[in-house]
Structure 1
Amino acid sequence: MPSQELPAPLATAAEGFARYLEAERGRSVHTVRAYVSDVESLLGFAASEGVADLPGLELGTLRRWLGAQSEAGMSRATLGRRSATARAFTAWALREDLIDSDPALRLKAPRREKSLPGVLHQGQVLRLVEGAESAAVEGGPLPLRNRAMVELLYATGVRVGELAGLDVDDLDPDRRTLRVLGKGNKERTVPYGLPAALALDDWLRRGRPALATGTSGPALFLGARGNRVDQRQVRSVVRGLLEGLGDTSATGPHALRHSAATHLLDGGADLRAVQEILGHSSLATTQIYTHVSVDRLRKSYLQAHPRA
């Protein structure tokens, strides 16, 4: 049920929550849109049950809302996000004195699947970057950019939006570190290796100057017209390289983030160090990669040990 069809008190509450997210929490436009969509879905369901204002919202309503979506086949990850949105919304409403008690205090999120599709083997990553390198050798600024983007995505595990938002002065070539502005405007420093450093140096010396215009500003990665590269362009580049592998179900840049984290843990990196590198606010989010590493270790054991 869209916001214009909600009873006025519910529509006003949804609009107030959106303003709160934008002004006080520093959320991205995409995140605000997703949260508001979740809240409108909840309030639309509540209205369909006869709820006309926020004090009429009860725990049972929240549970039935999630239950209906689960029966419709919604994934556990999406249900988890929606239950988190509901808790954030009712907590905000309580602070704003729109309700007297919080109905979502006892609302439990469904257990998330401990699966992580799209993790590349190290051999596949090598072939991926070799493909980018081969294209860069053929010349032109865009292949040089693509190689640098792919190397940096895998070297640092940064998100696509974080990569697109990088400026030239976010790089510290001497220390081989990168300053990243992540979710919630939290800044972190991430190291990167020699292959990424060489690719970045090539891009900055031979690629970027060929594309830069008066409107390029400090953007590290540029599009063909000299503007800051956007996330769609990054996804398209990585998707094309992944399709060229021919032996993976991975489809986008997040596979490089997943792979970087998994390979770090496979190599003995500390879990909290990986949490810091990825910019996770909770260690529990990073722990999913330990399951992937243990599963891979178990498969190797079963294949190799004579008494497995």
Structure 2
Amino acid sequence: MKDHVNSFLEYLQIEKNYSSYTIEFYKKDIEHFILFMKEQSIATLDDVEYFDARLYVSSLYEQQYARTSAARKISSLRSFFKFLLREKIVHENPFILVIQPKKGVRLPSFLYEEEMQQLFDSCDDSTPLGKRNLALIELLYATGIRVSECANIMVDDVDFEFSTILVKGKGKKERYVPFGIFAAEALESYMNNARSLLVDRSGHRSLFVNARGGPLTVRGIRHVLNDVMKKASLSGKIHPHMFRHSFATHMLNNGADMRTVQELLGHTHLSSTQVYTHVTKEHLRKTYMNSHPRA
């Protein structure tokens, strides 16, 4: 059974080109189901039937798994058994007819334009770290890139002539993302006057540098953003994706079309981008309810 799992994980890595982060989730989901098989005395993967799959789903609800987590586990196992069926290891896919629980629509949280301005104003760009912080948040907001993508940007990926950045996204997909004049000015100031003062002796080419001189990691970016949030005296916790959400929401609020935003965000499916229309509609509804005299 372990060999079959490893073969599937190799298939995800080599043929599907999934990230190690995604593959780890698949592995955990399959291991969780194998534990269930042992509890139910199911000897082999080929012995799993539709009834067993239904029983497993029921056990997820009994353990009070969130709908999103249950849906992910079902999807992982459906893909796993599809692979096993293709390899003729099993004779049927017991999860093919299992109905996934509907996911609740969770609206992305975002910062208003006034709040974004407070963040920019809170950065003291008279110091090297202050210049880095301003360049970081300007770039995140200007491009809507993921924090993991931001952490992987190299100095040579920035093209000031065309105001674009080469971004390595999910599944090793690359795309060019434009940035505006505010981000350009902050980046130039940081790269010309601060980065060389921060970088360590290794001379690495990562664009953003931490206080010790090494590459700024995703965790480090999260720490920087929380620190900037405190200095800006904004209430609530900030998370890195809020810049991505704010980028998409503000673009749509100001008339950008859905397809353009989809391409800029690097979304494979338009449905991933459409969630932001719910945010903009909710924003319009709240504005109307607060402003109209007979709302």
TM-score for the superposition, normalised by structure 1: 0.89
Partner of residue 238 from structure 1, selected from 192, 209, 225: 225
Q: Per-residue deviation at 1:60?
A: 3.2
Partner of residue 274 from structure 2, selected from 277, 287, 295: 287
Q: Matched residues in 2 for 1:248 and 1:108: separation?
A: 41
Corresponding residue for residue 69 of structure 1: 60
Native 8 Å contact 2:120 2:138 kept in 1? yes
Q: Per-residue deviation at 1:227?
A: 2.5
Q: Per-residue deviation at 1:276?
A: 1.0
RMSD over aligned CA atoms reads 1.9
- Structure-to-structure mapping, 1:153-172, within 5 angstroms: 153-172=140-159
- What do the CA deviations read for 1:65-90 (whole angstroms, capped 9, x no partner)? 33322343322222232222122212
- Are residues 167 and 250 of structure 1, via their aligned partners in 2, closer, same or farther at CA, if it must alter by over 3 Å? same
Partner of residue 102 from structure 2, selected from 104, 108, 111: 111
Q: Per-residue deviation at 1:273?
A: 1.1
- What do the CA deviations read for 1:178-226 (whole angstroms, capped 9, x no partner)? 1111111111111111111111101110111112345233211122333
Q: Per-residue deviation at 1:281?
A: 1.2
**SS of alignment partner, residue 176 of structure 2:** strand
Q: Per-residue deviation at 1:245?
A: 4.6
Task: Give the aligned length.
Answer: 295
- Structure-to-structure mapping, 1:67-216, within 5 angstroms: 67-132=58-123, 135-137=124-126, 139=127, 141-216=128-203
Q: Matched residues in 1 for 2:216 and 2:28: separation?
A: 28
- Structure-to-structure mapping, 1:258-277, within 5 angstroms: 258-277=245-264
237-246 vs 40-49, greater mean Cα deviation: 237-246
Q: Per-residue deviation at 1:122?
A: 1.4
Partner of residue 10 from structure 2, selected from 13, 19, 34: 19
Which runs of no fewer than 5 residues in structure 2 stay unpaired? none
Q: Per-residue deviation at 1:247?
A: 4.5
Corresponding residue for residue 5 of structure 1: none
Q: Matched residues in 1 for 2:120 and 2:49: separation?
A: 53
Q: Matched residues in 2 for 1:142 and 1:176: separation?
A: 23
Q: Matched residues in 2 for 1:61 and 1:105: separation?
A: 12
| Counterpart residue identity of residue 95, structure 1 | R
Q: State yes or no: 1:224 paired with 2:215.
A: no
**SS of alignment partner, residue 190 of structure 1:** strand
Q: Per-residue deviation at 1:288?
A: 0.9
Corresponding residue for residue 3 of structure 1: none
**SS of alignment partner, residue 194 of structure 2:** helix
Q: Per-residue deviation at 1:244?
A: 4.2
**SS of alignment partner, residue 136 of structure 1:** coil
- What do the CA deviations read for 1:26-65 (whole angstroms, capped 9, x no partner)? 3332222222111111221122222221112233333333
**SS of alignment partner, residue 90 of structure 1:** helix
Q: State yes or no: 1:299 paired with 2:247.
A: no
Q: Percent identity?
A: 36
Q: State yes or no: 1:45 paired with 2:45.
A: no
Native 8 Å contact 1:87 1:105 kept in 2? yes
- What do the CA deviations read for 1:255-285 (whole angstroms, capped 9, x no partner)? 1111111111111111111111111111111
Q: Matched residues in 1 for 2:198 and 2:168: separation?
A: 24
Native 8 Å contact 2:109 2:245 kept in 1? yes
